[in-house]
Amino acid sequence: MTTITDQQLHSYLQRMPKTDLHCHLIGTVRASTFAELAQRENLQLPDDAKRIFQDINSMPPDPALYLNTRIPVPQGRSEGEPEVSYSLFQASKWVVECLRSAEDLTRITYEAFEGAHLTSSTRHLELFFDAISPQTAHLGYNGVIEAYADGIRMAERDFGMTGRMIAGIDRSQSGEHALSLVRQIVDNPNDYVVGIGLDNLETAGPPERFEAAYKLAGAAGLKRTAHSSEHAPVAINTVTCLDMLGCDRIDHGYFVLEDDAVVERCRDEQVAFTGVFTTSRRSWRPWRRASIKAMLDAGLNVILASDDPGMFPTTLAAEYQIASDQLGLDREKLRAMSMAGVEAAWVPAGEKAAMRARFTADFDALEREFFA
């Protein structure tokens, strides 16, 4: 058996083909891009734009919510937290305020794909986009979507990647607001917009509030996912997302571990969970890693993702390295996880078959290079 160094293993993990199925477009924006746009717009910030990104650290909510969870949730601050923290939501709001033109939207989309390609060998990327902001309302819905699509097309041309967009529904808004957003998507179909997802803090809006919006999306052939069992320490929200909302995937899902019956069901059905070790709540990062390990040990179908890589910061390759270095997953398990991402990707059957064949060929070539 060929022995390789840690450095070689990390190179293998960086170069292995990957899908990223849970990634927020605004969260991919580079600190340097934010700094440039903020200067252009004369945005008044409390600190240097790059420093703000370095100090993103969303503070935990009421610790009383997380007493007696199966995997203990940290209750206080962790070592290395910045003295002045900026929440992920505040940083995202500042970025959105700087985006004005179609060219801005195309640029950040292209840079999201470029970064995923260069840092992580990501082959397929599915990006969440948010509701149209006042700053880009002049473009109209179709103008915004086409600006995103232009960025994807450029990335497909330059990097040989594939990409799709997921419309993010802010769960702090009403069910009627969500329904109007889905109607807009259904009435203005675009090949790159393939699904919807429920985001923002889970405690801000229960999934059942959005049943009508999700039923309309399903009837129109859109795929469906939702952030679930991430902030609310219960498994029942994931059951609601599967049964009432008809979700095809679940984003995060760590608190399904609170209910053995839900774990068993999700294992038997091989529900795809998109998991992320690195979160803006720095004190929660060890808990995230312990939770994902427990999910994997229970046989759940966890597929690693990057979430908000520009703002945490992290990369998809770094998430795979954590799985290898800290969770002890061997390369066979990581390969299986990557291939599971292909199966969970929201692409047509023919495109999925081609993706599966390409991933298999790429993995086989890496195996020969590193381990023959």
pLDDT score for 75: 84
Q: Is the pLDDT of residue 333 over 60?
A: yes
Within a domain: 83: yes
Task: Give the containing element (helix H, strand E) for 198.
Answer: strand 193-199
Within a domain: 57: yes
pLDDT tens digits, 40-93: 999 999 999 999 999 999 877 788 899 999 999 998 888 889 989 999 999 999
| Predicted confidence band of residue 157 (pLDDT cuts 50, 70, 90) | very high
Tokens of 232: 């609310």
Within a domain: 276: yes
Query: Percentage of the chain with pLDDT > 90?
Result: 92
Phi, then psi, of 287 in degrees rounded to 5: -65, -45
Poorest-pLDDT segment among 79-83, 150-154, 218-222, 297-301: 79-83
Amino acid at 113: F
Q: Is the pLDDT of residue 2 over 80?
A: no
Q: Is the pLDDT of residue 345 over 90?
A: yes
d(CA 172, CA 323): 32
Within a domain: 223: yes
Domain, as residue range, for 351 = 6-371
pLDDT score for 306: 98
Q: End-to-end distance of the chain based on CA atoms, in angstroms?
A: 8
* 246 contacts 216 by C-beta, under 8 angstroms: no
Within a domain: 115: yes
d(CA 145, CA 169): 15
**How are the residues of the chain apportioned to helix, strand and coil, as percentages rounded to the nearest 5?**
55, 15, 30
* 197 contacts 214 by C-beta, under 8 angstroms: no
pLDDT tens digits, 309-322: 999 999 999 999 99
The pLDDT of 239-262, averaged and rounded, is 98
pLDDT score for 196: 98
* 28 contacts 308 by C-beta, under 8 angstroms: yes
pLDDT score for 224: 98
pLDDT tens digits, 92-149: 999 999 999 999 999 999 999 999 999 999 999 999 999 999 999 999 999 999 999 9
Specify the CATH number for the domain of residue 103. 3.20.20.140
Give pTM, 2 decimals.
Answer: 0.97
| pLDDT mean across residues, the chain | 96
pLDDT score for 4: 79
Q: Is the pLDDT of residue 1 over 70?
A: no
Q: Residues 231, 233, 235, 239: what is their CA dihedral angle, to the nearest 10 degrees?
A: -40
The pLDDT of 200-220, averaged and rounded, is 96
Considering its fold, how many domains does the chain have in total? Answer: 1
Within a domain: 1: no
pLDDT score for 6: 87
